């Protein structure tokens, strides 16, 4: 009997930038995935990269802010089932400490930036990050989404 390969999952990193009771969302555009909908600064973890470094890197790539990985606090982990054959694990980190003013650093992927009250998310917020934001607000360290 052939040896079965171990299960592997995509690891996502999401950054909740906190300022004056609001968080930063980005409107997706031109990506082919949920265009016109809102998401946090986020992306995939690179091979060999610690999750906090990946989160800081993604925030810089998408909104131009520099974050010390040590300034990130784990807000929630979401095990997300995107479709029957694809699941992801999302690490949601929060911080109110960064250098620079957020701006649209990827205009080919992002239509605009929006500061919003996390307790009243816009209706066009993607369900997956919305689940992480709700967990962050309620202090729930882990949640399943889409299972």
pLDDT, residue 96, reads 98
**Sequence-separated (6 or more) residues with CB below 8 Å from residue 12:** 42, 43, 44, 45, 80, 88, 89, 90, 91
Q: β-strands 10-19, 86-95: how paired?
A: parallel
Whole-number Å distance between alpha carbons of 134 and 56: 21
pLDDT tops 90 at residue 108? yes
pLDDT tops 80 at residue 1? no
- pLDDT of 17-63, one tens digit each? 999 999 999 999 999 999 999 999 999 999 999 999 999 999 999 99
- Note the pTM of the prediction, 2 decimals: 0.95
The continuous run of DSSP H or E covering 129 comes out as helix 127-138
Give yes or no for a contact between 99 and 63, defined as CB atoms under 8 angstroms apart.
no
């Amino acid at each position: 009997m052939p040896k079965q390969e171990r299960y592997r999952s995509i690891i996502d990193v999401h950054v909740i930038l906190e300022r004056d009771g609001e968080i930063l969302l980005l409107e997706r555009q031109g990506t082919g995935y949920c265009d016109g909908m809102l998401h946090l600064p986020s992306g995939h973890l690179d091979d060999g990269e610690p999750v906090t470094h990946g989160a800081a890197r993604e925030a810089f790539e998408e909104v131009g802010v520099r974050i010390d990985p040590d300034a990130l606090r784990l807000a929630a982990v979401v095990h997300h089932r995107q479709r029957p054959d694809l699941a992801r694990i999302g690490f949601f980190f929060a911080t109110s400490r960064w250098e620079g003013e957020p701006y649209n650093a990827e205009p080919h992927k992002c239509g605009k930036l929006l500061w919003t009250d996390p307790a009243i998310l816009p209706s066009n917020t993607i369900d997956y990050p919305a689940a992480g934001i709700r967990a962050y607000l309620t202090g729930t360290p882990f949640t399943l989404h889409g299972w």
